[in-house]
Amino acid sequence: MTSAQQSPGGSRPGGRTARTRQAVLDAVFQELGQGGFAALSMEGIAQRSGVHLATLYRRWRCVEGLVCELLADLSAGVPLPDTGTLPGDLRVLARSVAGLYADERMRSLIAAVVSAAARDPQAATVLRDVFDDRLKLAADLVRRAVERGELPADTDPEAVMAALGAPFYYRILIARRPVDPALAESAATAVWAAARAGAYAHDDGR
C-alpha cells in the first residue's frame, strides 16, 4: 500500500467500513460521469452512496479529498507488465493507460484533482504522492531493461516513465481531446526510441 493510497481517507479498512468506502468512491465516479467536477457535491455523493453526510465529512473532509482518494484507488489498478522486453512493456502499459482514460469520467477525475491541487495543499500533496508512487513502481520496467542491456546503464528509470505518461496528460488537460489507441502506440514508440538513444540519462549535476 502506498502513502498516497492512505491519504486523505485513512488506511484501507476491512468489512463493513471497506464496503462503505467502496460505495462512496463508486458514487463519486458516477457523479463525475453525470455532471463533471463542477456539479460534484458532498450532498449528492451522500445521496447516491447511501452513506450519511456526516460520515463523508468526518472521513474525507471535502470533495477534493474524495476525488484524490478515488484517483489513488483507480491508478493502483493499472497493472505493470513484464513481457520480457522494454518495447513490449511500454506498449502494454501505454495501452492500459489509454484504456483507463478512454472513460470520460477518468478524464474528468484527472482534471478535478489537478484543479483541486491548485487550491488545496492537501490535494496537491496527494496528487504528487500518487504520481510519485506510480513512477517508482513503473520504473522497475526500465531497471529490468537496463539489466538486460536494452538501455544505457545511466538511464533514469523515472524520467523514462514520466515521458511515457506526459502525452496522455497533455491530451487530457491541455488539448482537451479524447485519448485513443493511436496515442498509446506513438507514446510507447517515441519513448523507446529516445531511451535507446540515451535521452533520459541521469543528470550528474543533481
Same domain as 176, residue 114 = yes
- The SS3 assignment for 95 reads helix
Residue 197 or 3, more confident = 197
Residue 126 lies in a domain: yes
* Full residue range of the structural domain in which residue 52 is found: 8-71
* Res 191: pLDDT: 98
| Cβ–Cβ < 8 Å for 138, 179 | no
Centroid of chain to Cα 60: 19
112 and 188 fall within a common domain = yes
Q: Does one domain contain both 114 and 20?
A: no
What CATH code is carried by the domain that includes residue 111? Answer: 1.10.357.10
Q: In this structure, which long-range contacts are made by residues 187-191, counting pairs with CB atoms below 8 Å and at least 24 apart in sequence? A: 187/90, 187/94, 188/87, 188/90, 188/91, 188/93, 188/94, 188/164, 190/163, 191/90, 191/160, 191/163, 191/164
pLDDT at 4: 37
Residue 95 shares a structural domain with residue 183? yes
Q: Is residue 144 part of a domain?
A: yes
- Could you tell me which residues come within 8 angstroms of residue 25 by beta carbon, excluding any fewer than 6 positions away? 66, 69, 70, 73
Q: What is the pLDDT of residues 142-187, one digit of tens each?
A: 999 999 999 999 999 999 999 999 999 999 999 999 999 999 999 9
Q: 115 and 165: one domain?
A: yes
In a domain, 83, yes or no: yes
Q: Are residues 67 and 98 both part of a single domain?
A: no
- CATH number, domain containing residue 66: 1.10.10.60
Model confidence at 41, pLDDT cuts 50, 70, 90, reads very high
pLDDT at 94 over 50: yes
Boundary residue ending a domain (71, 87, 106): 71
Please answer whether residues 150 and 196 qualify as being in contact, where contact means their C-beta atoms are separated by less than 8 angstroms: yes
Check whether residue 22 and residue 93 sit in a common domain: no
* 100-151 pLDDT, tens digit each: 899 888 888 888 888 878 887 877 887 888 888 888 889 999 999 999 999 9
What is this structure's pTM?
0.77
The verdict on 66 and 85 lying in the same domain is no
Residue 125 lies in a domain: yes
Q: Where are the beta strands (DSSP E) in 84-203?
A: none
* Domain closes at, from 71, 88, 116: 71
Domain count, the chain: 2
pLDDT attached to residue 36: 75
> Do 97 and 31 fall within a single domain?
no
Q: Are residues 67 and 83 in the same domain?
A: no
